């Protein structure tokens, strides 16, 4: 006898994501989910971000890793609340994991939680974590064809960071192809070019994320309230 289960396998993920949205709204916390292939520079971008954003907002981190807590250890020096999640092989974070991780963070004393998802360009974008924004990180040595080959993340992202631009002189990367494909997939997507190694472009990213956090409808626990007039930067090319 065959029993058919027609329930959407994402149903339970989606209902927990809804629960998370309620918790974040109640505590007036913004949650950002950073997604990229392994090694594009998520942790490097987080290091830059915590350095420069930590003085203005109360930040918490959820660090997703498949098999170690190395990235969480890299961020320990900032002295911020970090929940390290070891997925033991799973290629993405889901809303059940995030719900548990939120329980370990001091939500009533945070403005923004930044999630570093597991390095993977496909699966993490399929899971609603109840976040306010998915942020895509792509990097020059991965190639200019990634948006076209893995479109889901680039369609969903609210901001795209193109990292490792210091390597442009050394590897083939056609900006025209990259931007043409982005324009086809998500024409309004802000793209910010950075090098986490030289620091180039990082200030534009910091401006974007400050603006995003500030513009969410919520009570701010900001230390510095000087960002309410933020204007979104033009796409850098």
Ligand X SMILES: Nc1nc2c(ncn2[C@@H]2O[C@H](COP(=O)(O)OP(=O)(O)OP(=O)(O)O)[C@@H](O)[C@H]2O)c(=O)[nH]1
Give me the residues that bind ligand X (CB under 6 A), please. 36, 38-44, 71, 119, 163-164, 166-167, 195-197
Choice between 23 and 122, CB closer to Mg ion: 122
Among candidate residues 147, 162, 125, 149, the one with its CA nearest the CA of residue 35: 125
Give 41 or 60: the residue with its C-beta nearer to ligand X.
41
Residue 198 CB, shortest distance to ligand X, in Å, is: 7
Residue at token pair 């090694």: 39
**What gap in Å lies between CA 14 and CA 95, rounded to an integer?**
8
The DSSP annotation for 78-147 comes to G---EEEEE-TT-SS--HHHHHHHHTTS-GGG-SEEEEE--S-SSGGGG---S-SEEEEEEEGGG-TTHH
Question: Which of the listed partners (Mg ion, ligand X, none) does 166 bind, with a CB threshold of 5 to 8 Å by partner kind?
Answer: ligand X
Q: Least Å distance between CB 166 and ligand X?
A: 5
C-beta of residue 175 within 8 angstroms of C-beta of residue 24: no
Residues 6+ away with beta carbon under 8 Å from 8:
14
CA-to-CA distance for 163 and 132, rounded, in angstroms? 22
Task: Return the one option of ligand X, Mg ion, none that residue 33 interacts with (CB less than 5 to 8 A, by type).
Answer: none
Q: Rounded distance, CA 64 to CA 85, Å?
A: 5
For the bound state, the minimum distance from the C-beta of residue 121 to ligand X, rounded and expressed in Å, comes to: 10
- CB-wise, 133 or 167, nearer to ligand X? 167
Rounded least distance, CB 208 to ligand X, Å: 17
Q: Which residue has the tokens 């309620």?
A: 22
Nearest residue by C-beta to ligand X? 119
Closest to Mg ion by CB, 116 vs 181, is: 116
- Closest CB to Mg ion among 43 and 186? 43
By CB under 5 A, name the binding residues for Mg ion. 42-43, 71
Q: Residue number with the shortest CB distance to Mg ion?
A: 43
Among Mg ion, ligand X, none, residue 36 binds (CB under 5-8 Å by kind): ligand X
């Amino acid at each position: 006898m065959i029993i058919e289960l027609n329930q959407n396998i994402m149903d339970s993920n989606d209902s927990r994501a809804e629960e998370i949205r309620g918790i974040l709204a109640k505590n007036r916390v913004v949650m950002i989910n950073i997604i990229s292939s392994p090694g594009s520079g998520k942790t490097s971008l987080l290091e830059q971000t915590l350095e420069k954003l930590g003085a203005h907002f109360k930040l918490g981190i959820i660090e997703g890793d498949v098999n170690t807590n190395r990235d969480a250890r890299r961020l320990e020096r900032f002295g911020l609340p970090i929940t390290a999640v070891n997925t033991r092989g799973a290629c993405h974070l889901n809303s059940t994991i995030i719900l548990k991780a939120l329980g370990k963070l001091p939500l009533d004393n945070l403005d923004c939680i930044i999630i570093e998802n597991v390095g993977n360009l496909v699966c993490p974008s399929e899971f609603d974590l109840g976040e306010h924004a998915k942020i895509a990180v792509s990097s020059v040595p991965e190639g200019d064809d990634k948006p076209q080959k893995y479109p889901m993340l680039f369609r969903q992202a609210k901001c795209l960071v193109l990292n490792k631009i210091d390597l442009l002189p050394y590897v083939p990367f056609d900006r025209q192809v990259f931007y043409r494909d982005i324009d086809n997939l998500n024409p309004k997507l802000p793209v910010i070019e950075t090098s986490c190694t030289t620091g180039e472009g990082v200030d534009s990213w910091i401006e974007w994320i400050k603006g995003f956090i500030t513009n969410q409808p919520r009570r701010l626990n900001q230390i510095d309230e000087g960002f309410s007039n933020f204007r979104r930067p033009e796409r850098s090319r």
